[in-house]
């Protein structure tokens, strides 16, 4: 009997549309001889919409959109009682990016339901989504990072002037201001003076109640895909030719300005250092399945971990599949199958654990 794979897409996130692109490619790549594919579209309001057994190729991500008048609770109840086939083999592929999907919330729900799923567990998903917590943890393990500080919304509102003075004293200009939780460069801006800093604080706090401020570093950013459970392996590093000071949302997904260079232009020694650092970061954050680690490399060959993404963009031309194709010839379909196997492996290992009081 075929295993049923439920691909979650959309979601309550600013990365909703990116999720649909990733899900479309994943659905098209899943081997229909081995699996039944059921896309589950999650609206911007959080309602789960069953799109039924999907046998054809998806031509446009918009095919996955659906409209529903149901509530979140009722739609999730319908998924559990009428859609999820309790007497068959099931697996969930959360093709969700950002909060309410990549941050451990969905993963926790699936853990409670005792359903195997692709990708990282609750802890690694939630920790990696929070840039401040991630950096604090990596600091403990002496993983190099650029200088940073953070602020919560309530403390900023209590004394805005003090917050700005602290940034100027501890970080200086120019600096980057980011929401602590989020992705795809949404809400991120650079400040070169006090006026820009004030505006950047206001912008970042639109997307999260906690923000992080990082010192600017003159460096190239490498992207490394790490895949595995107990023995994770890093791909070759890749990079993008810089046409902007940093890649905002438009540069990444709309303008088509990104020019990938794979493998990245690094010496063998620095390539090895970048890959080992990516693997160490993956392990420190207790990751499983997959992640993409972004690492800065300066002209002096210093390296600094920027961030880790536990469900990176996963279209056919996204960096993750491109990196593995360049590393060992793995095709997109083979990578999807590998992630499914890793998800089942992790589930089966945890299933035999005995819980005692």
Instruction: Give me the residue spans of the domains in the chain.
Output: 3-117, 147-215, 218-350
- The pLDDT value recorded for residue 253 is 47
Output the average pLDDT for the chain.
93
User: Residue 307, annotated ligand binder?
Assistant: yes
Active-site residue flag, 15:
yes
The CATH class that applies to domain 147-215 reads alpha beta
pLDDT category at 357 given cuts 50, 70, 90 is: very low
pLDDT category at 80 given cuts 50, 70, 90 is: very high
- The pLDDT value recorded for residue 241 is 81
Of these residues, 163, 200, 288, 318, which one is catalytic? 318
User: Residue 87, annotated ligand binder?
Assistant: no
Of these residues, 22, 24, 180, 184, which one is catalytic? 184
- The pLDDT value recorded for residue 174 is 97
* Residues 226 and 233: beta-carbon distance below 8 Å: yes
* Residues 313 and 149: beta-carbon distance below 8 Å: no
Active-site residue flag, 318:
yes
* Residues 315 and 21: beta-carbon distance below 8 Å: yes
Mean pLDDT check: name the lowest of 172-186, 266-280, 306-320.
172-186
- The H-assigned helical ranges of 171-291 are 194-204, 249-253, 268-284
- Identify the DSSP state of 72: H
Q: Residue 18, Cβ neighbours under 10 Å: how many?
A: 26
Active-site residue flag, 189:
no
Question: Does the structural domain 3-117 have CATH classification 3.40.50.20?
Answer: yes
Output phi, psi for 44, to 5 deg: -60, -20
pLDDT category at 79 given cuts 50, 70, 90 is: very high
pTM value is: 0.91
Please check the confidence at residue 260 and state whether its pLDDT lies above 90. Answer: no
- The pLDDT value recorded for residue 243 is 58
- The pLDDT value recorded for residue 256 is 53
- Cα 294 from Cα 222, distance rounded (Å): 6
Please check the confidence at residue 356 and state whether its pLDDT lies above 60. Answer: no
- The pLDDT value recorded for residue 98 is 86
Give 194's Cβ-side CA count (13 Å radius): 9
215-257 pLDDT, tens digit per residue, is 999 999 999 999 999 999 999 999 988 655 555 545 544 455 6
Output phi, psi for 151, to 5 deg: -140, 145
User: Residue 89, annotated ligand binder?
Assistant: no
Please check the confidence at residue 214 and state whether its pLDDT lies above 60. Answer: yes
- Identify the DSSP state of 43: -
CB crowding 155-182: b at 16 or more within 10 Å, else e: ebeeeeeebbeebeeebeeebbbbbbbb
Mean local confidence (pLDDT), 2-26: 95
Burial environment of residue 225 by CB neighbours within 10 A (0 to 12, 13 to 18, 19 or more): buried
- The pLDDT value recorded for residue 242 is 63
Assigned token pair, 39: 């896309």
CATH of the structural domain 218-350, one choice from 3.40.50.720, 1.10.443.10, 3.40.190.10, 3.30.470.20 = 3.30.470.20
Compute the chain's Rg from CA coordinates: 21
332-350 pLDDT, tens digit per residue, is 999 999 999 999 999 999 8
Mean local confidence (pLDDT), 2-10: 97
Percent of residues, the chain, with pLDDT higher than 90: 86
* Residues 36 and 105: beta-carbon distance below 8 Å: no
Assigned token pair, 221: 């950013």
Q: Is the dihedral of CA 146, 135, 15, 259 positive or negative?
A: positive
Between CA 192 and CA 203, with CA 298 as vertex, the angle to 5 degrees is 30
């Amino acid at each position: 009997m075929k295993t049923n794979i439920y691909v979650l897409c959309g979601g309550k996130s600013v990365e909703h549309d990116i999720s649909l692109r990733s899900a479309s490619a994943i659905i098209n790549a899943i081997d229909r001889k081995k699996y039944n594919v059921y896309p589950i579209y999650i609206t911007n309001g959080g309602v789960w919409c069953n799109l039924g057994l999907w046998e054809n190729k998806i031509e446009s991500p918009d095919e996955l959109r659906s409209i529903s008048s149901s509530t979140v609770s009722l739609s999730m109840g319908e998924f559990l009682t009428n859609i999820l086939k309790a007497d068959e083999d099931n697996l969930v592929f959360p093709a969700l990016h950002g909060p309410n999907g990549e941050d451990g919330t969905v993963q926790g729900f699936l853990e409670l339901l005792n359903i195997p799923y692709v990708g990282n567990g609750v802890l690694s998903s939630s920790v990696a989504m929070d840039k401040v917590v991630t950096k604090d943890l990596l600091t403990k393990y002496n993983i190099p990072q650029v200088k940073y500080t953070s602020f919560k919304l309530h403390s900023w509102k209590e004394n805005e002037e003090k917050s700005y003075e602290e940034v100027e004293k501890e970080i200086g200009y120019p600096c980057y201001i980011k929401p602590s939780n989020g992705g795809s460069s949404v809400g991120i801006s650079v400040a070169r003076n006090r006026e820009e800093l004030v505006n950047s604080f206001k912008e970042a706090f639109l997307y999260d109640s906690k923000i992080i401020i990082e010192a600017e570093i003159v460096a190239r950013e490498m992207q490394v895909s790490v895949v595995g459970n107990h023995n994770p392996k890093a791909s070759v590093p890749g990079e993008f030719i810089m046409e902007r000071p940093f890649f905002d949302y438009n540069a990444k997904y709309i303008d088509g300005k990104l020019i990938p260079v794979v493998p990245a232009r690094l010496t063998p020694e620095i390539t090895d250092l970048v890959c080992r650092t990516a693997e160490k970061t993956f392990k420190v954050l207790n990751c499983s399945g997959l992640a993409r680690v972004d690492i800065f490399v300066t002209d002096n060959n210093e390296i600094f971990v920027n961030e880790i993404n536990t469900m990176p963009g996963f279209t056919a031309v996204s960096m993750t599949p491109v990196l593995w194709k360049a590393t060992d010839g793995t095709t997109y379909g083979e990578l999807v199958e590998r992630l499914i196997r890793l998800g089942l492996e992790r589930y089966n290992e945890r299933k035999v654990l005995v819980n005692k009081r």
